[in-house]
Structures are given as C-alpha cells and as structure tokens.
Structure 1
C-alpha cells in the first residue's frame, strides 16, 4: 500500500504559482477562483480564458462592494478531464493604459485569425471618464506571451468583449453592459473598429452583459447574460441571419443559479456543443466564483435545449486523470459534503453505509493497471469495491478500510486492477461495512494509473 499526503493549497499561494494541473469535474478548477469563462478550440485543442476573483486587500474592503478581479489565467484541456493552468496572461497593473490597483479586470475573450491570437479584455482606463475600455494584445500562441497595445480600442466603451470570426474571415466585436449591447466590425488588423459601433437590435428589455456570438448552420447566435427582475441573471440567446443583426430573442439557455451572476461561452469540441458558465459552490459566496461546463443540445429547428447545471460536467477521465467521485451521476445510501482536514477545496463522499454506492459515468479505462483512492476513516472495518456500470457489475478493484487517524485525516491508498479492462465505462463505488454502521469511509477522489 502506497500512502502519500497532499498539502493544502490556498488561493493566495496560487496567485504566484507557475504551471499547474487542475483535476476536477464541476467546477473545472478549485485552486483559484475563476469566472466568465470564454472557451475556444484552436488546432483541435480546447482552451478556456476566464477572469479571476479574489479577496479585497485588507483595509480596502469597502472599495469593492461587488467584485475584486486582478487579471487573467489561461487553461487548456490536456487529457480526458485534466485542465492545465498556464499561469498569468495579464495582470491589471501591466495594462499599458489602465489605472493601477483597481481590480477591475472583467470578462476577456481570445480569438485566432491568420495564425495570430488576439486577446481582448476590459479594464478601467486612466485619465478617462469611461467605466471600462477594451484593449487587445497579439501573440503567436493562445496562452501568450502577448504584446499589448499601448492604447485601448478607440470608439469602444463598455465591458465583456465577445468576438465573432465569420466564414469570410471578417471579424466582429460585441460588447456592452447595462440595458444595451453593441457590435462593430473590426479592421483586418483586429485592433481597430472598421465602423462606428451600432446598437444590437431585437434583444429583450432589461439588464444585459456577457455578449458571446457564434455561428451554426448559417445562423448567427448571440448569447448574453440577461437579468429578469423576478429571477436575476439568466443566460439568454437570440438569432439572426446577419452577424450584426437585427436579432430575435429565442429564450433562455440556463436559468438563474443561486441568485447570483452568470457569464458564459459556447463552443463545439469533439462534435459536442458545450456551455461554459460559472457558479460559486466552492466559496459559498457569489463574488468568488468558479467556472463550470455542461453539454448543450440543439433541437432540429435550431433552438437550444435549456441546460441544467450538473455535478458531473464534461470530459471523459482516463489514465492519469483524477476522478472527483463526489461529482457523481448517481448516489444511493451515502452523502456528500465539503471536504475537511488538509485537503484542497472540494467535496467528498461521506456517511457511506453498508451497500451504499456512488456512480460516476464516462471513464476511459484503456491502459489502467492500478487505482489510487484518497480516503479518511475513523474506524477499521469494511471495504469498498470498484465495479463497472452498475452496483452488481464486474468487480475490477477492492480497497480495505483502515483507520487513517480520523475522519479528516487523509491518506492515499493504492490497489491493482484485477484484470485488464478496455473501453469507456461507468465506475460504481460500492461501500461495505457492518450493517448498522452510519459511515464507513470518506472518499475524495480516484486516480487511474
């Protein structure tokens, strides 16, 4: 049995970290707070460009009644469900034309044109009365380094840049916040507007922000955050036959989540449409958000089936991916709760009784020979099994339950897979203990190797 310990990673530590691997389902990463995720596929690889939330500096809390946002990281999907953190793309004090120490770096976007990557972002300008201006940088790689333009884009005032590159290689910049959204064509250099921005017509009344356009089957979709007075932030969408509209409102993609903001993007990856969005399950505070993702479907008439936020999220974990087993598809006879002890932020399966189980779908087992489990237990009685597809399915691995020092004292244990397994299966963890026991073991994650 191999036993290791993982250190507690706090958000403050990761502000200075370099390259990190984040293993999670929903939310996608838990080592820092991420919001407003813009997802893009470049050369067959999935990237996400979110904003970031942090705590206000000590003594300055009153200055940030809403959000405190210091800059941007970039992430890429490196395996079945492993997100690599590429570190800082841009910090607020590195904006050439921006005010310092304002924590005002709201939602960004990144787009590729003719082999160059253009990163757009809002920031608070110095010596300018505008609430936000939008700047741009260019790079040879999606994660930078970027060469930042010394001034913001002229004639553009607002937040939440959303980019559309049409089939004719013409680009459009959507932006705005409040009761109006705007769009402008960009020049070929992607750094200037080719015409004065116009109001996007045909959208419903009410507060709107978070413009994200895309094209499908010759139809232009404009998705956006939309606030209903009696519901709060939702994600809505409208369609048009032209990139600059007018648009027709078609309904909601996602309902409000826990009475807070939502901000999103839509991307097609591996022939599946995905909605990226954010929530705040990790922090419990809607100013410290975490990005999430779920699959999205279109009906035959082109309308979008409303997405319900899930725990499981997207991706197909495989060898060397961490399986956050608490992000289950089904659970019976057990519970989940926020993880305790010296673990990184997240959840665990707990209160597992005799014959309780948790099912986690879509795991690619090709090449796996061992399974590791992260466990904590205050007793020495029982075991838990790993079975395929259902609680009575093929048994592929079994772990004994041993005392680890307490219910918040964590160890990593390892066992060998009983025989080679190929293909993609649902994994079911079945817990065994004495009848009448109220809990057997706390389980955080599994890892195939």
Structure 2
C-alpha cells in the first residue's frame, strides 16, 4: 500500500499514474476525493468520486470548488484500494469549457457490454446551456479508457447525475438543479426517452441535490443531501415506482458536527452488507471545499426504514495485522490522556498520529485479523522525548498482553521492534495504552 508518509510530490505522482490508496476513513489519503458513487462490477467495488484540488493562479476560483478531472478507485475487500488514475479530464472533452474546473459529482453504469460514465460540467458553448449540463464517456472496462461523447445529453440542465436500471430493463437518469429531476433513458444510455419530471414532493425549503436512487424489496429509495438547517444532511424518500410519487421518510446521516457544508453519497450492497459512501473534510479541516471519501456500514430496520448512520474513523473491513495499523483511525479513544493530531500540519496528506499524554491514555482499534499462524514480533513507529512504555492487548483490558514495548528517549521518529509475549489467532480488537506519565506518540503498529 502507498506509504502515507511519502512526500507530497510523490503523492502527486501517484495521483497521475495510479497506485494504492488507504483503508479506514478516509479511504484515500494521497489526494482529495468527494461525491463518491460506488458500483459493484464482477465482484469488485469501483468508486467514482470527483477530485478536489486547490486553486492556484489561473487555475480555478480561490475559495471555491476546483475540479479538473476524475479518477476511479477499486477494491475487492473495501480495505485495500487501487487508484487507476485519471479517466476523464476537462481539456480532453470536446464540448467542455477547458478552464471551467467544474467536473462535479459523477456516476457510472454498466449496460450492453459497455461502461457509461456520467459527469456534469460547464459547456464551452453557452447555446447548449448557460449553466451545467451532463455528458457521457463510454468504455469497455470499468477503469477506462473512457471516450467522451461529442455533445452532452440533450434536455438535461444541472448537476449530480445518477443512473438507475430497473428490473424490467428500463434505465433512468436523475439530476439536480434547485429541484431533483428524473427521466427515462433510451436503450443507448446516451439520450433521454421521456421529458424530465420534477420530483416536487421532496422538501421545498433548503437546497436539495445529489440524488441517488436504488431499489430494495420492491421499494424505491430516493436519497439526497438537503440543507434543513445550516449544512447538508443525507435524507431519503420512498416510492413504489422509480419516478414517484415519493414520501419523505427520514435522515440517513446528520449534519457534519464540524461544519463541513456539503455531503454527497451513494449506497451499495456488497457481499450481503449495505454500505454508505460519503465525504467529509478530514484532510482539510479549515477548508471544506477539499473533501475526502469515507465508508461506513448501513443497516435497514425490519420495516424497510434506514437506520441512521453514525460516522466513524475506523470505517469498514478487516485490517491485516501484518499491515500498518493506523491507530489514529480508532474505534474508541480514552476521554483523557490521548488525542489525534496531524503528523505534519504543512502536509496533511501524510496523515495522523496518536498522542498519549500520560498513563491514562489508550486507543482501541477494532477488526484486526491476526490469522492462524503465530506472529512473533510487533513494530511501532513511535517517538518519546523522555522515553516511555507502551502496552498492547487483544480484546481490551481483560485480554492477553501481546507485548510491552520500551520506547527509548528521542526527539525523532523510531521504528521499535519487540517480541510478542502472547498470540491469539483470529480477528480481535487491539488496545494500545501508555504505561508511563511521559508523552509518547505512535504513527502505526505492525505485527510480523
């Protein structure tokens, strides 16, 4: 996997050339990603997000969303993600204004042996549209190369395209522009087959955008971000048909507790579990126009209603004990004696660290797969100016002590290896705690 501590320039090269991305939340830490649409093709999950970048002179509008291209990421286990590189860029689409930097939330759908990638942006020809419209790029593979169509879809003005194919084979396109709209698509997936319908039974006050529709047990769920108060929260409505009438049912995810103004999402069932893909500004806490994609598990109640999703740092999937375990993406953290900080505030793509202030600090990380074959050592990337002692346990305070590690004095990061005093096969929680009253910092933990 891509080392989270590579210099920024290497991260930028990975953005261009493809490579591995991170697990836990956010799932990508070497670039900004937002507005994720997740699709399962041939037993693998593909995430099609938008790609936030920072504005520079002559490249985008300062203080606003700046997006010039799209990447696609894929995973077989929702833990190890591969960046397949750029699949569509603004200056290689015939109808797109090449300096618009407005390649916003996309979608992708498979039909008739082809992959259809839908994306909104600003056309160079204002007679096509004075605002956003939606185009399509087509490929033989989910990772491209994608060939953009020469013109956008006629009759669509807006952003956030979402495609749904019903059980009878009829395809639908949804999008937003003040309201949320839906229309049938022709068999060729490139043209509307009906006039757009305004889904006007949704909330009338507050911005609505980002539609994502799916069907489950005969019920059609229309999900969307909505500004009920100050920032977007994720809501849903249900119907017995793809174009409504819809009945508003409730909230999938509350507003961001830290004030990230947008949220944008998709839902996916994969290997008999539902997941919510969404975004937050983890890697840019002071500027919410640079977002990062997250995943959390989603559950339905017996009556078909959606149980509200509480955002986590841990995310989903199992972490191999032999990989670097990022404790800062914790499941639980002590209320005193421990906190999370960026490794480098000047380059947040390097990720985070866990900081123990004293012997009251501990962190719990769920879902570590230790396997069957006995592991013998543990390595910590750690730093303690005055020295410290760190303890690792499996399954909490009553579980076996895996190791007690002495961290030598030093003001630089060190990789300290220590023998394991116990091994417990299978999948367990990992609890790491400080046993001394001197500060100690941990970047990652790895077993061998």
TM-score (norm 1): 0.90
Question: Which deviations, in whole Å up to 9, do the C-alpha atoms of 1:376-413 show, x marking residues without a partner?
Answer: 22133x33232111033112344331234x1xx32334
Q: Distance in 1 between matches of 2:374 and 2:381?
A: 17
More displaced stretch, 35-44 vs 51-60: 51-60
Work out whether residues 8 and 343 of structure 1, in 8 Å CA contact, stay in contact via their aligned partners in 2: no
2:245 counterpart residue number = 246
Deviations 1:409-447 (A, max 9, x none): 3233444545654221111112222xxx241x2112223
Aligned residue among 68, 84, 91 for 2:82: 84
* Residues 4 and 351 in structure 2, CA contact (< 8 A), matched pair in contact too: no
In the TM superposition, what is the alpha-carbon distance from 1:59 to its structure 2 partner?
Answer: 5.5
1:424 counterpart = 2:427: yes
Q: Which residue of 2 aligns with 1:146?
A: 146
- Distance in 1 separating the partners of 2:32 and 2:357: 30
Structure 1 residues without counterparts, runs of 5 or longer: none
- More displaced, 382-391 or 301-310? 382-391
Residue 89 of structure 1: how far off its partner (Å)? 1.4
Residue 352 (structure 2) aligns with: 347
Question: For residue 445 of structure 1, what is the aligned residue in structure 2?
Answer: 444
Residue 196 of structure 1: CA displacement? 1.8
User: Equivalents in 2 of 1:139, 1:261: separation in Å?
Assistant: 30
- Number of the residue aligned with 2:156: 156
Show the 5 A alignment for 1:116-131.
116-128=114-126, 129-131=129-131
Match of 2:204 in 1: 205
Equivalent in the alignment of 1:331? 333
Q: Secondary structure at the match of 2:91?
A: helix
Cross-structure match for 1:7:
6
Unaligned ranges ≥5, structure 2:
none
Over 3 Å counting, the alpha-carbon distance change for 1:177 and 1:438 in structure 2 is: farther
Task: Report the equivalent of 2:29.
Answer: 30
Report whether the alignment pairs 1:110 with 2:108: yes
Structure scoring higher RCO (CA < 8 A, sep ≥ 6) equals 1
SS in structure 1 at match of 2:17: coil
Counterpart-to-counterpart distance in 1, 2:80 and 2:324: 8
Structure 1 residue aligned with 2:409: 403
Q: Give the conservation status (yes or no) of the 8 Å contact 1:277–1:293.
A: yes
Question: What do residues 235-255 of structure 1 show as CA deviations (whole Å, max 9, x unaligned)?
Answer: 111101001111111121111
2:264 alignment partner in structure 1? 263
1:314 aligned residue (313, 316, 325): 316
CA positional deviation for 1:33: 0.7
Alignment partner of 2:12: what SS? Answer: helix
User: Which of the numbers 382, 385, 396 marks the counterpart of 1:378?
Assistant: 385
Residue correspondences, number: 435
The match for 1:226 is 226
User: What is the RMSD computed on CA atoms of the aligned residues?
Assistant: 2.3
TM-score (norm 2): 0.90
Secondary structure of 1:32 counterpart:
coil
| C-alpha separation in 2, matches of 1:277 and 1:235 | 9
Which of 267, 292, 295 does residue 294 from structure 2 map onto?
A: 292
CA distance in 2, matches of 1:20, 1:410: 26
